[in-house]
Structure 1
Amino acid sequence: MLAQHHYRAADGTPLSYRQAGPAGGQAVVLCHGLAAGGSQFEADAAHFASLGFAVLVPDLRGHGESGTPPSRSPDDFAIRTLADDIASMLDHAGVAQVHWVGNSLGGIVALDLIGRQPQRFDSLALFGTAFALNLPVVLVPLMPMLYRWLGRDLLARITAVNTTRHKPARPLIAAMARAFDPQVGAALIAHLRRYDLHANALAYAGPVLVLPGGRDGAVNLALRPALKRIMPRPNWTVVELPQAGHCANLDATDAWRAALLAFWTAGVSAPALQ
């Protein structure tokens, strides 16, 4: 059973996270992507907690059980703002350092925070996350338009089918997409369509794990060229998950969990990067 906790962001937005596992265990953050929520990791949190990890599962602002600033404007949803929210969560939970696991937006948030507060990270693991994007501005109003044209139920089903081939995972993905506020999506996409966090990733001297999903085509277009430029690096590990889509924990669960456990228990110690 995951315990629910509530706190407030610096701007007063009410935020939520769930917690499982022994208080003295190594801390792990499992952070979801755009239009998802902490429920994406409920089973994984229970699994890792049973192995002795202290697991934190946030709902980013505008997602899941967390609240939304009244204006829902792009200014309220900058990547840095979301990262600061999670830093506040760690303070609220009394956690100094974490193994961070980020999916998509959850990885982008980590890449921002790690550039400013690297001391909070024992390690960084990313899946479904590109280090940079440069997409056209026309994408900003697209999500509200799709919700309006197709309706929540149909768009949620389409999203689930396009996200994973693993049919048992689709109801959860559809439920998260159905509950999402498209105006929040537009505000986030205003920032996510164009960012570059390569420098933050390369400056981090701790262990980094990248888990490319073989079926995550859209992200791989941006991710794989970047990995070719970055690798090899002494503190970086890349583990391919051929059967994984964008949400690898839902459609390549066993391989995803095994890769994380091997990474956390390897005791990788990286030299400072020049």
Structure 2
Amino acid sequence: MDLTTTDVPVGEWTIHTHQAGDPADPTILWLHGSGPGVSALSNWAALITTMPGYHHVAPDLLGFGDSSHPEDLPLGVAGSAAARAEAMLGLLDALGVGRAHVVGNSMGGMIALLLVQRAPERFDRVVLMGSAGAPIEPTADLIKMITYYDDPSPEAMLDLMGRFLHDTGLYGDQIDQVAADRAEVAAREDVRRSHLRTFSPDGPLLVFPVEDLVAIEHEVLLVHGREDRIIRKESSYYLAELLPHAQLHVLPDAGHWVQIEQVDRFRSLATLFLGEDAA
């Protein structure tokens, strides 16, 4: 499947967006996670061109990659996630997508939950991968990611990638170059500013209360790496207990990047789950 990339105007912002597949097919909106140097393609490249029968929309979220980096991005995870959810609804409007499935990884999972709460009629099925949003103490490795800019460098990025992955050998001898490339993106001033505003202690965190989760009627697939050191698997246990129509799959030999370390398993799970909607 061919990939096309465009900068889509959304109000005062521009959202850098990758698309694959036929727009006449059901749409999947792919929402990446957070972290210095992250982008849509770094999360989803192995999936959005290998799942035929869908129209794939994979944007750099607001304040990430080559999308707009507002100087007034709300401080804190909760406020910045709300702005990103608003931008995603605007992106679907701009693309003429009335209804979509949504896949969210980590912070993208929180944004996916915000979307189905704000506009439930716009979304079909939901896939959450290593999603944050539970009332669970942050891990030391998550704190290391948040504080990356205390001492940024290619070496610090390589160390951080080792915390995200269960097995860095997946990248072979290319991992040093991958880390260097991500560190170069992270060194951009707009990327740094957005990261620091997102994780500012001057803004609130985002934790989903029980009453909000039990009210979500969508079918939800939760996927979590058993060895995830960034977001504990107990976060997905919390969500699975409360979301009325949720199923949970914990995959072995995988850290926080299930979509990279267990790409074939994830593709099979997602294809089966999303295909049920059309059955």
Structure 1 residue 221 displacement after superposition: 5.6
State which of 38, 42, 47 in structure 1 corresponds to 2:45: 42
2:219 to 207, 210, 225: 207
Counterpart of 2:156 in structure 1 is: 155
Residue 217 of structure 1: SS of its match in structure 2? Answer: coil
Instruction: Work out the CA distance in 1 between the residues paired with 2:143 and 2:255.
Output: 25
Q: Distance in 2 between matches of 1:74 and 1:154?
A: 28
Task: Find the counterpart in structure 2 of residue 113 from structure 1.
Answer: 115
- CA distance in structure 1 between the aligned counterparts of 2:205 and 2:39, rounded to whole angstroms: 22
SS of aligned partner of 2:232: helix
Rounded to whole Å, the distance in 1 between the matches of 2:268 and 2:205 is: 33
TM-score (normalizing by structure 2): 0.82
Classify the secondary structure of the residue corresponding to 2:64.
Answer: coil
| 3-state SS in 2 of match to 1:67 | coil
Matched, 1:236 2:246: yes
* Percent of residue pairs identical: 22
The answer to whether the Cα contact below 8 Å between 1:32 and 1:59 also exists between their aligned partners in 2 is: yes
Quick one: distance in 2 between partners of 1:141 and 1:237?
Answer: 28
Q: 1:101 to 1:239 in 2, by over 3 A?
A: same
| SS of equivalent to 1:132 | coil
Equivalents in 1 of 2:135, 2:10: separation in Å? 27
- 2:168 and 2:241 map into 1 onto residues whose CA distance is 32
Structure 2: how far apart are the matches of 1:89 and 1:189?
24
> What is the DSSP-based 3-state SS (H/G/I as helix, E as strand, rest coil) of the residue aligned with 1:99?
strand
- Show structure 1 runs of 5+ residues with no match: 270-274
Distance 1:214 1:94 in 2: 38
CA contact (8 A) 1:147 1:155 kept: no
In structure 2, the gaps of 5 or more residues are none
Q: Which of 172, 179, 185 is the aligned partner of 2:185?
A: 179
| Residue 3 of structure 1: aligned partner | 4
Greater CA deviation, 220-229 or 151-160?
A: 220-229
Q: Is the Cα contact below 8 Å between 1:9 and 1:15 reproduced in 2?
A: yes
2:264 alignment partner in structure 1: 254
Q: Distance in 2 between matches of 1:92 and 1:134?
A: 36
Q: Which amino acid aligns with 1:68?
A: H
The alpha-carbon distance between structure 1 residues 172 and 106, as it changes in their structure 2 partners (threshold 3 A), is farther
How far off its partner does 1:263 sit? 0.5
Output the CA distance in 1 between the equivalents of 2:199 and 2:135.
Answer: 11
Shift of 1:147: 2.7
What RMSD, in angstroms, separates the aligned Cα atoms of the two structures? 3.0
Q: Which has the higher contact order (CA 8 A, sep 6+)?
A: 2
- How far does residue 5 in structure 1 lie from its aligned partner after superposition? 2.1
Shift of 1:65: 1.5
Cα distance, 1:144–1:247 mapped onto 2, change above 3 Å = closer
Q: Residue 190 of structure 1 is aligned with which of 197, 200, 207?
A: 200
- 1:137-186 Cα deviation digits (max 9, x unpaired): xx99976864342x331121111111111433455566345413233212
Instruction: Please state how far the C-alpha of 1:72 moved relative to its aligned partner.
Output: 5.3
SS for the counterpart of 2:238 is helix
Q: Is the 8 A contact 1:25 1:54 kept in 2?
A: yes
The one-letter code matched in structure 1 to 2:181 is A
- 8 Å contact kept, 1:72–1:183: no
Listed one character per residue, the Cα deviations across residues 25-75 of structure 1 (whole Å, up to 9, x for unaligned) are: 111111100022111212211011xx2210000101121221211355628
**Matches of 1:26 and 1:251, distance apart in 2:** 26
Partner of 2:130: 128
C-alpha displacement of 1:190: 3.2
Give the paired residue count.
261
- Structure 2 SS opposite 1:129: coil
Counterpart CA distance in 1 for 2:240 and 2:33 is 24
